[in-house]
Structure 1
Amino acid sequence: MRIAVIGTGYVGLVSGTCFSEFGHDVICIDTDETKIARLNKGEVPIFEPGLQAMIEKNSRSGYLKFGTDLETAVSNADAVFIAVGTPSRRGDGQADLSYVYSAATEIAAALTGYTVVVTKSTVPVGTGREVARILREANPEADFDVVSNPEFLREGAAIEDFMRPDRVIVGTLEPRAQEVMSAIYRPLSLFQTPLVFTSLESAELTKYAGNAFLATKITFINEIADLCEKVGADVHDVARGIGLDRRIGAKFLHPGPGFGGSCFPKDTRALFETSMAAEAPLQIVETVIGINEKRKKAMATRVIDACDGSLTDKRIAVLGLTFKPNTDDMRESPSLDILPELIRRGATIRAYDPEGMSEARKLLEEVEFCDSSYATLEEADALVLITEWNEFRALDLDRVKSLMKTPVIVDLRNIYDPHDMTAKGFAYSSIGRPQ
């Protein structure tokens, strides 16, 4: 199959690359000439494990190309995937669909022969119908179907998620479009991956509902963690106890400083706004949004409490800045709420992250960035662990203690065992466990 992918952000780049790995002829299009030039030189603008090697392999084989000529790419394609950004719109939380609709207008002018136009971007219910209207109005003679094919990629594990997904959701009831989409995803039949065909509206809503449910699980276990601290229970025992129930499942039951990233915050807000517009308000989702925003801000208080109530002239070491490990994504990371508050309360911050510091430098101007975990710890009054990168899981604790001015650790990801830390002589604070 010949595939054009419009947009080389996270979703477009990963999707286009994986389609080429399936053996399809793929061209990824972007208006950013600098980004395309970098990609053509083998420079990948995002960090995602395995992506660089896959891009290099399929570029060499000729299955994967990058360019700026949308018209030629679309005119030669069997399927065109719209994978542009849909950020939260300022002021009302709705998804900003201007990039999607702009792409649709450009695609319309380039359509030749039957083409399946696929919204891969995360979009609210009704977007596919509007894309179809734009295409038809701009090019009344065009022969096309509009399909919704939401992505379910975890940053840091996106290649595995794409190549071995739990399911593929395809929003179309049109036989010709189903045939094209079945051909595109046929390589997954080896793993008997369910290919679920639905209406446009059902596919669009499935994406938002899935992310909102996972965000709710995270928020639920975070609140249970707070309760555990009050009653002397261990949140990990509770999470294991409920997670072994197959109706609940163990994933997304790890307590922490709140969810962030490019999807959950944006998608929960957009879903709630959609529900309000439809006069069917999702009160659970509204509550999850509010609790999560408060939680990220409240994490600074834990650090202040660990430092005897004052951060004046204190040096705080921070390990981990991205919203999760194995990504360089800083979007809505808890660190963006925690660190500014610590600075406001008088602290000096030294920080390290294996992949996120380039972006973090743009967002946290008052932070001093270090080149290693141990460099951050020199003369620190406290260490705060925000992101659970693997290299933070086995720190030399004797070395850590020798470098720090005061052996205080605030572990917001529960990386270490409280008993071991106490035995090592640390004043150790974690989430939802007896201290």
Structure 2
Amino acid sequence: MNITVIGAGYVGLVTGACFAELGNHVTCVDVNESKIANLKKGILPIYEPGLEPMVISNMNEGRLQFVSSMSEIAADSHVIFIAVGTPSDKDGAADIQYVLEAARNIGAHISQYCVVVDKSTVPVGMADQVDNVIREELQKRGLSLRFDVVSNPEFLREGAAIEDFMRPDRVIIGLESNNAKSIMLDLYLPILRSPERIYFMNVKDAEMTKYAANAMLATRISFMNEMSVLCERMGVDIENVRIGIGSDTRIGSAFLNPGCGYGGSCFPKDVRALVKMAERNGVAPYILHAVEKRNFEQKRVLPDKIVNVFGEDLTGVTLGVWGLSFKPGTDDMREASSLVLIEEAIRRGACVQAYDPAAVGVAGRILPSEWMDSGKLKLTGHQYDALKDADALVLVTEWKPFCYPDMTAMKNLMRQFIIFDGRNQYDPKHIRAAGFEYYGMGRGEVNYKRAALSLREAVGAE
């Protein structure tokens, strides 16, 4: 099948590469000329495990190509995916300008029947707008071509996107045409083997399903984060509570891990967009507002713990930070908890030494250069380099290489032996037995103000 993907960002690149891997001929179009030039050289704009070799292999086989001009949209495409960004606008609603621009270009270039697929996360009713824009462009050209607009939201987890695409637990498709249904079945059956996991529904139903799914997951995370704060105040270990409630089949164990807040490109913006959709339709989004508020507060829990240990003024304190990306398996730092932590620590006078297996390059581009120029922030090339003369380790992202740290090496490097665990990755008993102070998220630490002298008092006493 001949496929065009408009947008070579995260969703578009994974979608294009995976469909090419299945033997289709795919053209990815993106107006960012430097991005396209790099892709042609095999240089990807994102980090995603397994994606780079897949892209290069399919380019070499002639199944995947990248172009920067919308005029190069394949005229013989059977399916055209719209996979452009829909970031939050100034009011929190989804910014749909790039989707509409893609629709205009489709209407300006198609010459035969095709299925236009909204792969981007778009507000309910977007398919109707895309349909209208394409028709307007066709009328300008004096053409009357048949086409169908379909909603096929993506459910890709960053860090596991290829696995999610190639072995999906479900595929949601909203459409109103039997012809489009036949084409979408042909497109997805090679990875599903059977049609049972394809759920066909109304277009608007599919559009809402994406938002509702992400909002539900964000809600579970925020609920557990709120419970972790309560558990800490009451001397209860949230990890035991998590295991206990997760064993209930009505609840299940997924997305019940408390932490220092969610981030990324999906949950924050999709919750905001759903809030706006609710308000514009006269529905008060009480639960969604609470989800947003809890996540905002949760990102400040780690900085608050550090202040409780070292005091309000962190001058003279050096923090070793493990993890910058919003989750393991990606270099995405959009709305990551690390951003709040680092900004607050530096604002209070601390120095930060940070390491991430994938996101150090991204951090160097997006964090203020004056922090690095002044020596307040150092991005290191190895996880233990971040601990040299550090007064505490702060775990923000639970990358696998951080699971079993070398305690002896840490003690030889660190100035003080303190660990703030923002993801409850470590067993407090083991950490304390190794001679470290340990502060987790909701681990029952009612009084975690240090009994020992503060750093400044200790320095002054010497």
In structure 2, C-alpha distance between the alignment counterparts of 1:298 and 1:178, rounded to whole Å: 48
Match of 2:303 in 1: 300
Match of 1:371 among 357, 362, 381: 381
Question: Residue in 2 aligned with 1:147?
Answer: 150
Q: Is the 8 A contact 2:225 2:294 kept in 1?
A: no
What is the Cα deviation at residue 289 of structure 1? 0.8
Q: Which sits farther off after the overlay, 309-318 or 190-199?
A: 190-199
Q: Secondary structure at the match of 1:409?
A: strand
Residues in 2 aligned to 1:113 and 1:363: alpha-carbon distance in whole angstroms: 43
Look up the SS of the partner of 1:406 in the other structure: coil
Partners of 1:72 and 1:137 in 2: how far apart?
Answer: 20
Q: CA RMSD in A?
A: 1.3
Contact (CA 8 Å) 1:306, 1:429: kept in 2 or not? Answer: no
Contact map agreement 1:173 1:197 (CA 8 A) in 2: no
Unaligned runs of 5+ in 1: none
Q: Structure 1 vs Structure 2: percent identity of aligned residues?
A: 47
Once the two structures are superposed, the pairs formed by residues 32-47 of structure 1 within 5 Å of their partners are: 32-47=32-47
3-state SS, counterpart of residue 52 of structure 2: helix
- Stretches of structure 2 that go unaligned for 5 or more consecutive residues are 372-376, 446-462
CA deviation profile, 1:404-425 (whole Å, cap 9, x unmatched): 1111111101111101111111
Where 2:94 maps in the other structure, the secondary structure is coil
Equivalent residue for 2:407, pick from 378, 397, 400: 397
Partner of 2:105: 106
How far, CA to CA, are the matches of 2:72 and 2:183 in structure 1? 20
Verify the 8 A CA contact 2:42 2:55 in the aligned structure 1. Answer: yes
Q: How many residues are aligned here?
A: 434
Q: Which runs of 4+ in 1 moved over 3 A?
A: none
2:189·2:195 contact (CA, 8 Å) conserved in 1? no
Name the CA distance, whole Å, in 2 between partners of 1:398 and 1:189: 48
Q: Is the 8 A contact 2:390 2:415 kept in 1?
A: yes
TM-score, scaled to structure 1: 0.97
Question: Could you tell which deviates more after superposition, 335-344 or 203-212?
Answer: 335-344
Q: Give deviations 1:125-177, integer Å, cap 9, x for gaps.
A: 01111111111111131211111100000000000000011100011021111
Helix, strand or coil at the partner of 1:165: coil
Match of 1:280 in 2: 283
Q: What secondary structure is seen at the aligned counterpart in 1 of 2:191? A: helix
TM-score by length of 2: 0.92
1:434 aligns with 2:444: yes
Q: Does 1:79 align with 2:89?
A: no
Asked if structure 1 preserves the Cα contact closer than 8 Å seen for 2:7 and 2:13, the reply is yes
Select the residue among 377, 381, 393 that pairs with 1:383: 393
Q: Which residue of 2 aligns with 1:224?
A: 227
* Partners of 1:112 and 1:281 in 2: CA distance: 45
**Equivalent position of 1:65 in the other structure:** 65
Separation in structure 1 between the aligned mates of residue 419 and residue 81 of structure 2, nearest angstrom: 47
The equivalent residue for 1:345 is 348
CA deviation string 1:287-309 (max 9, x = no partner):
10111112113321111112255
Pairing 1:237-276 to 2, within 5 Å after superposition: 237-276=240-279
Residue 433 of structure 2 is aligned to residue 423 of structure 1: yes
Matched, 1:408 2:418: yes
Paired position in structure 2 for 1:122: 121
SS at match of 1:4: strand
1:5 aligned residue: 5
- Helix, strand or coil at the partner of 1:65: strand
Give yes or no for the alignment of 1:16 onto 2:16. Answer: yes
Bigger radius of gyration among the two:
2
Q: 2:27–2:74: 8 Å Cα contact kept in structure 1?
A: no
Deviation (angstroms), 1:193: 5.5
